[in-house]
């Protein structure tokens, strides 16, 4: 999964130069698409990164998923269904 955002040129310059180390965004919704092309969109209640202990437990519980060692895992708490 990849997130992308349009930002002003001077903000990108600050990120590239190392002056700016984080970015804040408001996300309107989250779409889930299955292998058959069905789409369901939801409001986002909360997004958090997982702690090391949570990641270890998740990987143990879902061994069938090829988890990347180098990619952070986020938890997205879904709100009401939009479509």
pTM as predicted: 0.74
Query: Percent of the chain scored above 70 by pLDDT?
Result: 100
Name which of 56, 71, 58, 80 is nearest 1 in CA terms: 71
Mean pLDDT value across residues 56-73: 93
Query: Percent of the chain scored above 90 by pLDDT?
Result: 81
pLDDT of 28-52, one tens digit each? 899 999 999 999 999 999 999 999 9
According to DSSP, residue 51 is labeled P
Report the relative pairing of strands 74-81 and 30-33 from DSSP bridges.
Answer: unpaired
């Amino acid at each position: 999964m990849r997130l992308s955002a349009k930002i002003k040129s001077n903000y990108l310059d600050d990120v590239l130069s190392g002056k700016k180390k984080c970015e804040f965004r408001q996300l309107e919704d989250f779409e889930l698409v299955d292998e058959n092309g069905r789409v369901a969109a939801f409001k986002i209640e909360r997004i958090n990164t997982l702690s090391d202990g949570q990641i270890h437990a998740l990987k143990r519980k879902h061994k069938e998923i090829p988890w990347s060692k180098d990619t952070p895992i986020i938890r997205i708490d879904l709100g009401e269904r939009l479509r």
